[in-house]
Amino acid sequence: MERQEKHHRQRALDVLTRSSSQPPSSSRRSRKLDGHSVWSDDEMSTRRVQISGGYDQRFNNVDLGVRPPSTPSTQVPTPTYYGPPLERTSGVLIWSADAESQNVPQGSSLPTRVSFSNRISVAVQTSLTFWQRLRGHGKERVGWMCSFRAIMTYSWLNFLLIFVPISWGVHYAPVSHAIMFMFCFLAIVPLSKLLDYGGEQLALYCGKDFGDLIMITLSNAVETVLALVLLSRCELRLLQSTIAGVVILRLLLIPGVSFLTGGVHVMTQELHPHVVQLNNTLLTLGVLTLLLPATFFGALDHTTPMGVVTTTDVLNDSVRGDFLKFSRAMSMFLLVVYVCSRFYLHNPPGNIDNLHEHQNAPESLRAAVEKMKKEDPEVNPWVCIALLVVTVVLMAITAEFLVSSVQPMRKRLGIRQEWFGLFLLPLISYSADGLLSIVYFIRQYFRRYLGMPSPVNTLAQGRSIDLGIQFLIFWMPLLVIFGWLAHKPISLLFDVFEVAVLLGACFLVNYVTADAKTNWVEGMMMVVFYIMIVSCLRIER
């Protein structure tokens, strides 16, 4: 027993001695000491070293709570132990030394610093963990037949998949454009739900952070495909209206319905305060980016030498070129901001790995994360990827047929273009979720009316706000860049009415979510404001 104690003391002393006496090096190295990392670099002699430890229950009781003595021939950095007194239990204390520890307790005068190389190593470990999760490590292996069975039986909306081949056949048949639009609309509804289901199943393999990003991106797939089709057909004015309509739908109608149906039986529902604050800032930045070109255009001189006010002579080729230039520049800035915000959310500074582990995170969010970790997927990860690829291809073809019927139907029925862009086209992706939300609300109402127990969720469903923010500050500038590469002159100069309603939606969403709590009344207000906006589209301007 005494020999073991001397052995472990000597190992800890040797590591500290080598770390202080090695020659200068530009790279930092990591050694392993009984399963714990020991960092060493050329500047360790000027830093304070934290000694921490844990007990290995396989050995007998050995107390190493006192720093190992240094030899006269070696200068050892003075270590400092933070934390509660070490208790004598059955085990051997395993030493670890860290020159830049993040586990400094509150009240300590030492600054908490995270080195760049440490962050790089964490990023590499995260990528390896992501790849292992994607391969199904730690999850129950699902067979291919079970995966196909789960895909075909996950929702009753799958019966609408029959409209996919029907819509393709109608496109080449001599029928009216209104009928073709209706069949394409019905075909996209189950395809959007397949994307959502595939994203949810893939998120179970990728973890909470990457899973949220995957689900948010795939939930915007329908609108993105429609926008790319409109861009390829050079329907630029309809594309701008669709972008504004998608953002308004994601900010007002979808979260409003979620807050209304989910909070009708509880006093308040909670959101993550840190995520809400970041989303409010990102949303305000995106809307103000659209406000700048509109304000600049309004400040131009619209009068002719004869004193007549006009707008046709103002937008000449030179002015259009200027708008295109700073639209592309602002798009690049928005992309940088979005990437930095995702990096902050998935790799927050400090001694936490995820924002849902923060002390201010609601308990319902932590419970949802734990449930996600324990939940077994229903679909094989490679089947998920194949499902997403096939669904996106089917949706792209169907969306192409749908967009080709918009202009003839609009001219034949006398429907204004703004009504299509701001209301009808964005509503395609939400039609399935809206129908399911209505069915869920009716089911919960009858369960409570009959005295049957129904689950109460105190976590507000605010993911649609993330969808709107992503479409505003990621997909919109990306569409501008794609238009630049494809020689399609799309700019950020939107209609004044669209900018105004976006600004109003931004203010309302920020006020509703400012305290990270929502209720059904606030959800009703958001739905009512969306109805007000749609009602204004019927008025001729």
pLDDT at residue 136, as a whole number: 61
**251 contacts 282 by C-beta, under 8 angstroms:** no
Q: How confident is the model at residue 90 (pLDDT cuts 50, 70, 90)?
A: very low
Residue 39 pLDDT exceeds 60: no
pLDDT at residue 482, as a whole number: 96
User: 35 or 233: which carries more pLDDT confidence?
Assistant: 233
pLDDT at residue 414, as a whole number: 79
Number of Cβ atoms within 10 Å of the Cβ of 129: 15
Q: What is the pTM of this model?
A: 0.72
pLDDT at residue 24, as a whole number: 47
Return the DSSP state at 309: B
Closest CA to 380 of 206, 205, 215: 205
Q: Which of 64-78, 210-224, 350-364 has the lowest mean pLDDT?
A: 64-78
Residue type, 428: I
pLDDT at residue 448, as a whole number: 72
- How far apart CA 161 and CA 187 sit, in angstroms, is 6
pLDDT at residue 106, as a whole number: 43
pLDDT at residue 362, as a whole number: 60
Instruction: State pLDDT tens for residues 335-358.
Output: 999 999 988 887 776 555 555 555
Return the DSSP state at 361: S
**447 contacts 212 by C-beta, under 8 angstroms:** no
Q: Chain-centre distance of CA 87, in angstroms? A: 44
- How far apart CA 236 and CA 226 sit, in angstroms, is 12
State the Cα torsion 336-341-346-352 to the nearest 10°.
Answer: 130
User: 31 or 315: which carries more pLDDT confidence?
Assistant: 315
- How far apart CA 274 and CA 330 sit, in angstroms, is 26
Report, as an integer, the average pLDDT of 352-370: 60
Going from the C-alpha of 37 to that of each of 29, 100, 247, 420, the distances in angstroms are 10, 12, 47, 59
Report, as an integer, the average pLDDT of 472-494: 95
User: 205 or 369: which carries more pLDDT confidence?
Assistant: 205
Residue 260 pLDDT exceeds 60: yes
Instruction: State pLDDT tens for residues 128-150.
Output: 465 666 666 666 677 888 888 99
Task: Give percent of the chain with pLDDT exceeding 70.
Answer: 65
pLDDT at residue 123, as a whole number: 53
Residue 468 pLDDT exceeds 70: yes
- The secondary structure of 465-487 as a DSSP string is HHHHHHIIIIIHHHHHHHHHHTT
Q: Chain-centre distance of CA 466, in angstroms? A: 6
Residue 313 pLDDT exceeds 60: no
Per the document, the length of the chain is 541
- How far apart CA 27 and CA 40 sit, in angstroms, is 10
User: Which residues touch 245 (CB under 8 Å, ≥6 apart)?
Assistant: 421, 422, 423, 425, 426
Residue 98 φ then ψ, to 5° = -135, 120
Residue 67 pLDDT exceeds 70: no
Instruction: State pLDDT tens for residues 375-407.
Output: 778 888 888 999 999 999 999 999 999 998 888
Domain residue spans of the chain: 2-112, 134-536
Tell me the pLDDT of the chain averaged across its residues.
Answer: 76
Return the DSSP state at 67: P
Which residues of 269-419 form beta strands (DSSP E)?
A: 269-270
For residue 98, list its beta bridge partners.
Answer: 50
Residue 38 pLDDT exceeds 50: no
SS3 assignment, position 54: strand
Residue 43 pLDDT exceeds 50: no
Element (H, E) at 92: strand 92-98
Residue 29 φ then ψ, to 5° = -120, 160
**16 contacts 76 by C-beta, under 8 angstroms:** yes
Closest CA to 213 of 473, 509, 463: 463
pLDDT at residue 31, as a whole number: 42
- How far apart CA 133 and CA 154 sit, in angstroms, is 23
- How far apart CA 191 and CA 185 sit, in angstroms, is 10
